[in-house]
Amino acid sequence: MNATTDVFPLIQRPKPIRVPDVMEESLDERERAALIRRIKRLLVEQDAKLVAHYYTAQELQELADATGGYVSDSLDMAQFGHDCPNSTLVVAGVRFMGETAKILNPEKRVLMPEMEATCSLDLGCPADMFNAFCDQHPAHTVVVYANTSAAVKARADWVVTSGIALDIVRYLDQRGEKILWAPDRHLGSYIQRETGADMLLWDGACVVHDAFKAEALSQMRVEHPDAMVLVHPESPAEVIAQADTVGSTTALIKAARELPARKFIVATDRGIFHKMQQAAPGKIFMEAPTGGKGATCVSCAHCPWMAMNSLRKLAQVLETGDNEILIDEAVRAQAVKPIQRLLNFAKQRNQVVLGNNDA
């Protein structure tokens, strides 16, 4: 097989990404209880459902579950929004998740607790540079990960999630198509190694997963020989190589439940521990090692943008109606096509996209 993987040497690089500090909300018990009561009342008054990502704070996930909302990954969150009858969705996650919800649910009002909550993959792949990249490689099929802006999705032939990316790339490879992949280079090269497809990769990374350290992980495995290792494929190849299970957030939660170990080392955002503990009570979950604060780790296993979501901001947005996601209709109509292609592919393969997706 003559397949190649190239991380494209970007002629013009996106501006360096400024990663904020992780700022978690601090509330006393009385404040927390009052906010939760207020949010519950507002959700009913506003005919709204809360959909929260696995990486958000435990109390947001609990509130989504307790009010008939939903906790999952990005596409799954958008699909839930489509299926629920409510007219407003409040998306606790990052910007591209709110946009995906709006792309699939244009008739609904989509609000976000924090509009500045974004993603290093999305920030590292600006639409104008991405369009130029695609223009330079017109013979390639453009496949983008869900962690991209609506404008980047609008340029794609396919949107994929980590749960189904391998199947879609294999299918395209069997048709003899060359693939232009964006934005995560680690996920792209993992898929290339697994499928042998001919892929040209955009040079992006997730600040959380990129920070996991292979050598320190080897050491941790020596110290915990009874632990199994769960790794999200946005992590570096040397970390993935040590995994007992590599997979999407949902796949990792399933592995935590089903694998025989009592102890796990987990290389993804620690926000996922809440659902892992629910899925596998009594098991022990440990963060995979990062560079550590003050060293090369900027996020230390927790996404600073996910951490911007808070109970206070959620209450405020429900009260004011601020932070509504609006997408130009021409962009939305274009962006929905590659998402729909993904959904049709999953349906034809009888694969459940719901609960089987990306970060």
Position 94 contacts ligand SF4 (CB under 6 A): yes
Query: Is 301 buried (19+), middle (13-18) or exposed (0-12) by CB count in 10 A?
Result: buried
Q: Closer to ligand SF4 by CB, 55 or 181: give it.
A: 55
What residues are paired with 287 via a beta bridge? 266
Which amino acid is it at 27?
L
Binding characters for ligand SF4, 218-257, by CB under 6 A (x = yes): ----------------------------------------
CB of 2 to ligand SF4, least distance (A): 31
Q: Which 136-165 residues touch ligand SF4, going by CB under 6 A?
A: 147
Binding characters for ligand SF4, 13-52, by CB under 6 A (x = yes): ----------------------------------------
- For residue 302, the SS3 value is coil
- For residue 128, the SS3 value is helix
Indicate the helix (H) or strand (E) that contains 288: none
- How many angstroms separate the CA atoms of 135 and 312, rounded? 44
Interface region with ligand SF4, contact rule CB under 6 A, candidates 10-18, 116-124, 283-291, 315-323? 116-124
By CB under 6 A, name the one of 71, 77, 156, 206 that touches ligand SF4: 206
**Binding-site size, ligand SF4 (CB under 6 A):** 14
> In this structure, is the dihedral angle defined by the CA atoms of residues 289, 275, 37 and 41, taken in order, positive or negative?
positive
Nearest to 180 by CA among 209, 161, 155, 205: 155
Position 208 contacts ligand SF4 (CB under 6 A): yes
Position 272 contacts ligand SF4 (CB under 6 A): no
Q: Closer to ligand SF4 by CB, 147 or 195: give it.
A: 147
Q: Are 299 and 208 in contact (CB under 8 A)?
A: yes
CB of 209 to ligand SF4, least distance (A): 6
Cα dist from 292 to 21, 36, 144, 296, 358, whole Å: 13, 33, 31, 7, 25
By CB under 6 A, name the one of 240, 305, 343, 355 that touches ligand SF4: 305
Interface region with ligand SF4, contact rule CB under 6 A, candidates 57-65, 115-123, 244-252, 256-264? 115-123
Q: Closer to ligand SF4 by CB, 192 or 299: give it.
A: 299
Position 308 contacts ligand SF4 (CB under 6 A): no
By CB under 6 A, name the one of 63, 64, 119, 288 that touches ligand SF4: 119
- How many angstroms separate the CA atoms of 253 and 232, rounded? 11
Structure tokens at 106: 């244009």
Q: Closer to ligand SF4 by CB, 16 or 85: give it.
A: 16
How many residues make up the chain in this entry? 359
Q: Are 251 and 356 in contact (CB under 8 A)?
A: yes
CB of 45 to ligand SF4, least distance (A): 30
By CB under 6 A, name the one of 63, 78, 121, 146 that touches ligand SF4: 121
Cα dist from 230 to 38, 45, 76, 98, 226, whole Å: 38, 41, 21, 27, 13
Applying CB under 6 A, the residues found at the interface with ligand SF4 are 55, 94, 119-121, 147, 206-208, 269, 303, 305-306, 359
